[in-house]
Structure 1
Amino acid sequence: MIGRCKHRRRAAALGFGVVFAGSTLGAAALAQDTQRAEVEEVLVTGSRIAREGIDTSTPVSVIGGEEIKLSGAPNVEKILSDAPQFVASTNGGASANTVPGGTADVNLRGFGASRNLVLVNGRRFAIYGPEQVTDLNTIPTALIARTEVVTGGSSAVYGSDAITGVVNFIMRDDFEGVEATAQTSYDSPTTTPTYNIDLTVGGNFAEGRGNAVVSVNYLNRGAITRGERGEWAYDSLSDGCVTPASASRNHAGVPVAVPSGSTCRAAGGVPGLIAGGSGDIPNGRFTGVPIFNSGTSTPGLNDALAAAGLTGMGSRGFTFSDDGTTVRPALTPQDDFNLGPDNYLQVPQERWMVNAFSHYDFTDKATGYLEFHFSNNRVDQQLAPTNISGPFLFNINNPYLADIPGMNEVLRQLDLAETRPTTVTTGSSSRVNNPNDGFAVINVGRRLVEVGLRENVSDRNVWRMALGVRGDIGDVSENFLSNLAYDVYYTFARTEETSRQSGNVSRSRFASALLMNGSADPLLNIFGQNISEAGVDAIAIGATNSTEAELQVAAATLSGQIIDLPAGPLAFSLGAEWRYASSQFVPDEFLRSGDVVGFNPGLPTEGDVTAKEIFGELRIPLLGGLPFIDDLTANGAFRMSDYDLEGVGKVWTYLYGLDWRLNEDVAFRGQFQRAIRAPNVADLYGGLRQSVEPATDPCSDKQPASGRTDDVRALCVASGVPAASVFTAGVQPNTIIPALFGGNPEVGEEESDTRTFGIVVTPQILPKLAVTLDYFDITLDGAIAQLGGGLNNTLNLCFNVIQDIDSEFCQAINRNPVTGEISVPYYAEIRQANTGGLETSGYDLSARYGFDFGFGLFGNGSTLNISTAWTKTNEFTSTPVQAFPNVKNLCVGSYGTTCGEPIPEYKGVTRFTWTTGPLSLSLRHRFIDDVTVDRYLLPTRAGTTAPAYADLVNPRLDSQNYLDFSFSYEWGQQVEFFGGVNNLADDDPPVVGSAQIRANTWPATYDYNGRTMFIGMTVRTL
């Protein structure tokens, strides 16, 4: 929280707390020395008690405003994701080409964006969507003085959501003058520009009793498609083969078969990856027809298949030539559609933002303050043309098949072979198909390239206002309730978003257009690439969705000192808070009905959450001025929250800790915190929505050979897979699977415990050295998550672990009765539940040292400052279902479809800055440790059978070392030039196949845009 300028005469040794607790990323974050000095009472993030100096038992890291300039990042999420305490946020940032999307969030400790709390000047900021997360695109980087990060549960101090900690942006709210900054940046592979302009105006008024600051920002970030990074991102890659050449790279070593018609290629420098893609292709892929001479075929059908040349057809079905005049068996991966080239790798963004801060001293005891924010963010997403799949009806005398020998007879034989009526679901409607009625059912997998690319334009407006009064009210008496201060405020924030989509298709219109209308030919010819403009007009639909979110907070605090104890004053803080959060999502009627193919359908979401809270803190000085006990202080806090939720009600959170300053050189600290996260609107009331997720169906050929047991086979058949199709490619032709996700109004709160212990070393003999080492352990119980921990885990629990068709996990799986595939409109249904647990532990190390030199370029000497911050993650464990505690995913050092974004064991950032006169030169090193694919690592750690490491393609992603260079030059007092180059070596991200999240890599974790350059200038008045 922002500091209070109440000066005190008591001296304190700087060196224990926020300044040195991980503050290695910005020069402004560290004190210049550790000598005893006059200090002021300040409020430090993690506590509401003002204290002399900056002692705190809670580890707090600080990122100075200078770091933002030196990094060249116009959006702050990039700075945070590079910091070692953070794991990249998959769906929040410039590389998140997802819908809904277009936002930037922060993922502290890897627990997800909803489990850390974002503040501005110590108060909650605006939220977006039913998830009630803050969009970092709304944070004005030009006004950030510093960013304080509490890495541990803070619900007792700040309320719900602070499971893993708090990110608090401290703003410059006492600015005088005019400052204009312009910056441009671009990447070397595509030269796509990003422009960022800031204008800040501020000044004092009323003879210095008030100050007002207004800042305007414009940002324009260009788009980069995967096709523009063709050397590794163009193709849709999947694991294909292993070559002896791979052994030298420690990726694999045993050759395996290359699919017919393909070659074992080295995409992105990695042998064994094969260009593939989606099984739903522009020429159409048709399945559900019994294989020639199989037990489910008939003599008549065999003759028809032979006439059509389909005796060699397998489970992948058949397809057509471009003009639709010939038919042949479908192949993989030769026929698969490449989803990559048109998809955005970097989404374009245009932002306008206005921020205003003002404060005015009405009296010596009352200062009013006002904060205002408005921003408009426009972010586009672009995806490959939509596909449509599922069973559809065809006339058995389809005119578009009349010239292909045997094809209409294939349809007639299918119609004759039907033994009972079949209901064919077509989006919002259905139709009963009877045997020998002139119609046949065939499963279609068609990429609708004629409709065009899928595009979504998100337009998001955010308003926020904070109004408050704070001040010092003095003492009740000299020895009781002294130095009292108060802060009362109200905030209102509202987010409104409209997203407009194109490239969607109506499923029911598509189904109708496949059939003859009386004697007229069907409107759609989907055999080959033959859909006409009239056909496109008939099936294509747009969609307009709206999302609103509102947050209101009213709070009051009173702080001060109760009495003077022998070791110092007993300090306290008491307060009350009322909080109201609401959100609604209103999808387009096509999305709401489910009669849509393209972007994901979903049902409306609407709800609100209200909390009434009281909270308090104590800081108790125990001993001081003794040998080996320069200062020993205990602290504690509590918060009682009353939620209007049936599954939550009243909950308590609390913390207690101890600060022990051994002497001026060494200090120790420790703390325990109980934190909670109440369910948000999405958890509670989220309407069912469709999404596709990377997952492995254990009933397909993607199930490892060791898992193809009789029990699994029987379970697959019981779940709806035809017996002959079990463990074949037809059960899962794609690497992604559709599922329905939604909320649960009965869900309760999450609960976590955080333990931290640390040491701070600030040796007086080396006054510019500061070192901190902190241990952290965070355990989360009752994690609100998708059933089973997600789609992939639900499939695994059903078929490989629990193996009970009546379990909630197996009951969530629905299959196409013809092929056994989990495909539209047969989904897996995954709802929210207090289902799992998360645990992480490790060490945070930070250090800083400075050198003074007698030489420099401008004759006045120079300085070299070195700062470093590292995190070693000992454990990152997810328990998908706490009712089955033996099923754990030990994810540290891993990545993949279960563990998600890479979670390296070691991650670090080090910066060297040499300053000579007006010139500063800075070199930054970023390190990300190597990680191993979870498909191998998880079963190995669990003691179960894992696939042979040598048979895997690129199972390990090598450690990454990035070097960044930047400079700044002050030309007088009014002009400053700055610039730099990030990723000096132009390193490409590591390339993966089947385990990728998108674009054949993990673009949120690794630099996806190669070498980037930036240059800027700041002009200010004196």
Structure 2
Amino acid sequence: MSNKLYLTAASPIALAVSLLLPALAQAQTAPTTSDGAEVETIVVTGSRLASRGFSAPTPVSVVDAEEFKQSGAVNVEQVLNNAPQFIGSQNNGPTANTVPGGTATLNLRGFGAQRNLVLVNGRRFAIAGADQTTDINTIPASLIRQTEVVTGGSSAVYGSDAITGVVNFVLRQDFEGVELNVQENWDSHTTTRTHNIDLTVGGNFADGKGNAVVSVNYLDRGAISRRMRGNWAYDSLSDGCVTAASFSKSKAGTPFSPPSGQTCAQAGGRQGLIAGGSGDIPNGRFTGVPLVGSSTSNPALDAALVAAGLGGMGSRGFTFNDTGTTARPALTPQDDFNLSPDNYLIIPQKRWMLNAMGHYDFNSKVTGYVEAHYSNNVVDMQLAPTNINGPFLFNVNNPYLSAPMQEVLRQLDLKETGTTTVTTGTATRTTVAGDGLAVINVGRRLREVGLRRNNAERNVFRFAAGFRGDLGDVSESFLRDLKYDAYYTFARTSETDHQDGNVSRSRFQANLLSVGGAAPVLNVFGPNISAAGVQAIAIGATNITEAKQQVAAANLSGEAFSLPAGPVDFSAGLEWRYNAAKYIPDEFLRSGDVVGFNPGLPTGGSTIVKEVYGEIRAPILADLPFIKNLTANGAFRYSDYNLKGVGGVWTYSVGGAWAVTSDVNFRGQFQHAIRAPNVGELYGGLAQSFDAATDPCSSRAPTAQQTAAVRAVCEATGVPAAQVFSAGVQSNTIIGNLSGGNPNVGIEESDTYTVGVVLTPRAVPGLAVSVDYFNIDLTGAISQLGGGLNNTLNLCYYIVQSASSEFCQAIKRNPVTGEIAPPYYATVTNANTGGLKTAGVDFAANYRFKTDFGWLPDDSAFDISTNWTWTDEFTSTPVQAFPNIKNYCVGAFGTTCGQPIPEWKGGTRITWRTGPLSLSVKHRFIGAVTTDKYLLPKRLGNTVPDLATLTNPKLPAQNYFDLSFSYDLSNGVQVYGGAQNIFDRDPPIVGSAAPGANTYAATYDVLGTTMFLGGRLRF
């Protein structure tokens, strides 16, 4: 491990920077500058116990308010997602053009947003929906004093959900005066604006006994489509073979078809990006028709196909010219529909937010406090026109078809055997041979209906009230310096989604057929759907989501008694929590009779938990040689849930800290944490989604894995023999699947180890360095069957290889084409199925020193901070019943591992302050990653594809540089600004593995250089 760490760190600047400077560390005692002046430090503990320097064994990182200003961020998650402890979340933040979406969440250690806990002032905030996560868009950036990131399982201290840690936003609560902040952000390529205004007013009252603060925020972020960004974002890029001369790592090349029996490389081509898209196209793509001369055809049908110009048709079926009169074989990628131009790259957002806080000292022992929050967030998502896909019935004498094509349909009708039932939405129709109806599989892009748009309006209300104070001492030797805090919080989130661009599947089928001998309303041959046809099939939808949370808690802390080395601190308390959520879909989405936005069934339920907890810290030794202070600590929490799959559960932690001297402090902790299932995981109705995945039965599967054994399973699970490994089995890079809750799921459990050292050398005043090893092992992970869609496919076809297995039984296919496409899905409901494990090292430090040069030499100083994470392991076990099947995802990206998980991620900021001027530069680094199509089989010792046969298999390391400044014009007046990604680096591009926008937009910068300029007035 050490050799690997050393060699990896030597690349970019990781090792040098980490050891010389490594940020956001806590300080044991206030370090001093070279002239002896004290440097302001922040001491946080990740504990409910009163701070005693470095007695806290749990690593905590701190992001102060200055970092938010220097980054130009108006949404809090933008800053935290750049921190190395966090991994990007696809359906998160401004790049999440998905439904549901529009929220911003945090993915600590890459375990998912539901496995870290978000607090505000140490208390739970509002939940956004059934997943019980907090929308970070509701956190007021202008009021943040500091953000504490407690890494490692913290359930014993803070309760369920804190598997990977806690993010605590500490707000300014004693503000006096008036502060107005106005900021404008824009990008260099589209110049789209974001306007942000903050007004904060606060002051003391009642002779200083009380303080009240009110803050108002308005945010207006403009939309950026992929068309506007152009370049790498405009086309729907996928993997393919291109001519060597046209090869590019970021743009579509010229498609190249190798001669039969030759690979792309053997024929002189290159594996690269092609301008592909969806196989469901505006002119219609029709499949399920036997090929000429195949075993499923007959002479009469062969003759009809040849006469209609379809003698050379392949597995992609046929399409029509613009008039709909001439049919021809469909081609890929030439005919594929480009989904990208109208899709949003950055979704628009309008936000109003009001926060109010106050406290009042009734007497020396009682202080009352209140917090109130209201926010209105409106975000829009925009997607390409919907497609419709599946088997449909047509009249064989359809008047929109030419005579030769009518003959093709007539022969298909005559060839039918038995009764064929076609299900479309809520309707079913049957056909028999010679009844004048033929079944054809349709893949049609309904451009005439218009773009899909979802307007999501989310209103959040939260109120907290409590009392805190000092109770004094019970006696001089027992229960001293007692403090209490008791509070109640209520939060409610309501979201209304208005959707346009949906289509009724049953209405589509009904209007394809003649009624009373009249021509069908719909002409789907060519781009020829009329206004009347659009009106007949188009539907809107309105969906409602509501979530509520109530918390009542009381805590008592103080000194229990004294030991020779010092007082024993304790904290104990009770907590009651109620979480409830419901999702009420529109009738069309509820019935499944919808094409466009994903259908789903209603969700509704609640959870209640009653808890008792305690924490203790005991000094063992003090003021001895090599032991300035040695402390031990422990915590427990007992939680009683009203869930039959959970019941009563314990969490606990033990740890210690050893201060060798004032310069060297060691710390360590073991924590056993749990997470109870949330409302969505328990009671979520079946919902449809489309995710990037590779069908092992299609031509998209790696050539090395297209074996006879896989073919046999493909045929056994419903793929027609002639279609196996063909392009027709997967016409899109995404696959439809159904997921939903399970009321029987139980808790997740994790064990976390952290061991570290903190250095505050007196020989280098102003320097603080921390190095911490972390290891988190999660079992019983609540996940979709098999660990998700792609894992379920892999388990069915590559691992278990039995059509009767639960993984294969979950996959339903179109009986005509073999596709997993509506109305045939993979169903992956929740279970405590898998495991997750990660391990690595966090490096952090800051260093402040004065200089004798600058605007005002007596007031000139440098602040240098850096924060890095080396991830040694990130392993998922999709199904713990198969413990040998693991996905070793560190350093990988792809359809199985998801967002890039680099070995190294970090950043360094250098700020020079001289008089009224502050200048700052920041370096952000994301390490190189390799496709999981190569790394996963390699690490398991399986057959490894040649990298030359993969498109952009390695994404290079990314280095971003940011600049910012601030200048105090006068007392209380400041201007500031800056630029992010000043060298305008485009994100690395991937093809078929991309979850959206041809890249991983939640990980990499997608806007190029972005700038901001603001002013702050305070009086």
Which of 991, 994, 998 in structure 2 is aligned with 1:993?
991
**Aligned twin of 1:290:** 290
Q: Take 1:579 and 1:771, find their aligned partners in 2: how far apart are those partners? A: 38
**Alignment of structure 1 residues 399-410 onto 2, 5 Å:** 399-401=399-401, 404-410=402-408
Is 1:251–1:952's contact at 8 Å kept on the other side of the alignment? no
Q: Deviations over 1:281-300 (max 9, x none)?
A: 00000000000111111111
SS of the equivalent of 1:866 reads strand
Separation in structure 2 between the aligned mates of residue 236 and residue 324 of structure 1, nearest angstrom: 26
Please state how far the C-alpha of 1:848 moved relative to its aligned partner. Answer: 1.5
- The question of 1:473 aligning with 2:471 is answered yes
Task: Please name the residue that 2:814 is paired with.
Answer: 816
What secondary structure sits across from 2:196 in the alignment?
Answer: strand
Match of 1:171 in 2: 171
Q: Does 1:125 align with 2:116?
A: no
**Alignment deviations for residues 1-56 of structure 1 (CA, whole Å, 9 cap, x no partner):** xxxxxxxxxxxxxxxxxxx9999259999945399999999994521111333531
Q: How far apart are the structure 1 equivalents of 2:250 and 2:405? A: 50
Amino acid at match of 1:533: A
- Superposition pairs of residues 796-815 of structure 1, within 5 angstroms: 796-815=794-813
Q: Secondary structure at the match of 1:522?
A: coil
Query: Is the contact made by 1:28 and 1:65 (CA closer than 8 Å) also made in structure 2?
Result: no
Aligned length: 992
Letter in 2 for 1:723: A
- Separation in 1, partners of 2:252, 2:381: 36
- Aligned ranges 1:404-419 → 2 under 5 Å: 404-419=402-417
Residue 369 of structure 1 is matched in structure 2 by 369
**Cα contact 2:28–2:54 (8 A) shared by 1:** no
Question: Paired residue for 1:484?
Answer: 482
Change (3 A) 1:21 1:863: closer
Distance 2:688 2:249 in 1: 40
Cα contact 2:250–2:988 (8 A) shared by 1: no
Q: How far apart, in 2, do the equivalents of 1:445 and 1:38 lie?
A: 70
The structure 1 residue matched to 2:845, chosen from 832, 844, 847, is 847
Q: CA deviation at 1:856?
A: 1.1
1:638–1:606: structure 2 CA closer, same or farther, 3 Å change rule?
Answer: same
Q: Say if 2:743 is the partner of 1:745.
A: yes
Q: Match of 1:33, as an amino acid?
A: T
The answer to whether the 8 Å contact 2:22/2:843 transfers is: no
Q: Secondary structure at the match of 2:528?
A: coil
Q: Is the 8 A contact 2:388 2:595 kept in 1?
A: yes
Structure-1 separation of matches of 2:513 and 2:252: 51
Q: Which amino acid in the other structure matches residue 66 of structure 1?
A: E
Residue 704 of structure 1, CA deviation: 2.1
Are the counterparts in 2 of residues 21 and 772 from structure 1 also a CA contact under 8 Å? no
Q: What displacement does 1:862 show?
A: 1.3
- 1:521 pairs, out of 516, 519, 522, with 519
Q: What's the offset of the Cα at 1:181?
A: 0.1
1:315 corresponds in structure 2 to 315
* 1:248-327 superposed matches below 5 A: 257=257, 272-327=272-327
Residue 530 of structure 1 pairs with residue 528 of structure 2: yes
CA distance in 1, matches of 2:390, 2:436: 20
The reply to whether residue 33 of structure 1 matches residue 32 of structure 2 is yes
Q: Residue type of the partner of 2:600?
A: G
- Mark the CA change 1:271 to 1:310 in structure 2 (over 3 Å): closer, same or farther: closer
Does the 8 Å contact 2:659/2:665 carry over to 1? Answer: yes
The alignment partner of 2:681 has SS state of: helix
Contact 2:25 2:60 in 1 (8 A): no
Q: Is the 8 A contact 2:21 2:847 kept in 1?
A: no
Where 2:440 maps in the other structure, the secondary structure is strand
Give the letter aligned to residue 721 of structure 2: A
Gap runs ≥5 in structure 1:
1-19
Which residue matches 1:932? 930
- For residue 705 of structure 1, report the CA deviation from its aligned partner: 2.4
State the shift of 1:258 in Å.
Answer: 6.0
- 1:540-939 to 2 correspondences below 5 Å: 540-939=538-937
Shift of 1:710: 2.3
Q: Percent identity?
A: 66
CA contact (8 A) 1:21 1:846 kept: no
**Cα–Cα, structure 1 residues 438 and 256, in superposed 2: closer, same or farther, change >3 Å?**
closer
Q: Deviations over 1:673-729 (max 9, x none)?
A: 000110001100000011111111111112222222222212111111111111111
Aligned-pair RMSD on alpha carbons?
2.4
**2:33·2:849 contact (CA, 8 Å) conserved in 1?**
no
Whole-Å separation in 2 of the counterparts to 1:207 and 1:789: 60
Question: 2:335 and 2:784 mapped to 1: Cα distance?
Answer: 34
Asked if 1:329 corresponds to 2:329, the answer is yes
Q: Quick check: 1:144 aligned with 2:173?
A: no
CA distance in 1, matches of 2:696, 2:305: 30
Within 1, Cα distance between the matches of 2:632 and 2:29?
A: 25
Query: Displacement of 1:909 after TM fit?
Result: 0.7
What one-letter code is carried by the residue in structure 2 that aligns with 1:628? Answer: F
- Normalising to structure 1: TM-score of the pair? 0.95
Q: Is the 8 A contact 1:585 1:605 kept in 2?
A: yes
Q: Say yes or no: does 1:91 pair with 2:91.
A: yes
Query: How far apart, CA to CA, are the structure 2 residues paired with 1:257 and 1:70?
Result: 51
Q: Structure 1 residues 441 and 586 mapped into 2: Cα distance closer, same or farther (>3 Å)? A: same
Tell whether the 8 Å contact from 1:42 to 1:51 is kept in structure 2 after alignment: no
Q: Is the 8 A contact 2:560 2:568 kept in 1?
A: yes
* Residue 156 (structure 2) pairs with residue 156 (structure 1): yes
Q: Which has the higher mean CA deviation after the structures are superposed, 988-997 or 747-756?
A: 988-997
Deviations 1:372-406 (A, max 9, x none): 000000000000000000000000000001xx241
1:864 Cα shift?
Answer: 1.2
Give, in angstroms, the shift of residue 850 of structure 1: 2.1
Secondary structure of 2:131's counterpart equals: coil
The residue that corresponds to 2:347 in the other structure is: 347
Aligned partner of residue 812 in structure 2, secondary structure: coil
Letter of the 2:426 partner, please give it: S
**1: CA distance, partners of 2:446 / 2:904:** 45
Q: Quick one: distance in 2 between partners of 1:29 and 1:288? A: 71
Amino acid at match of 1:137: N
Q: Following TM superposition, by how much is the alpha carbon of 1:249 offset from its aligned partner in structure 2, in angstroms?
A: 8.4
In the other structure, the counterpart of 1:103 is: 103
For 1:681 and 1:561, how far apart are their aligned partners in 2?
A: 39
TM-score of the superposition, structure 2-length normalised?
0.95
The equivalences for 1:406-485 within 5 A come to: 406-485=404-483
Classify 1:808/1:874 alpha carbon distance in 2 versus 1 (closer, same or farther; 3 Å).
same
**Aligned-partner Cα distance in 2 for 1:1015–1:251:** 33
SS, match of residue 711 in structure 1? helix
Aligned pair in 2 of structure 1 residues 704, 23: CA closer, same or farther (>3 Å)?
closer
CA contact (8 A) 2:390 2:823 kept: yes
Superposition deviation, residue 742 in structure 1: 0.5
Q: 1:428 to 1:725 in 2, by over 3 A?
A: same
For 1:235 and 1:259, locate their aligned partners in 2 and report how far apart those are by CA, in whole Å. 27
CA shift digits 1:512-531 (9 cap, x unpaired): 00000111100000000110
Structure 1 distance, partners of 2:549, 2:181, is 32
Structure 2: where are the runs of 5+ without partners?
1-18
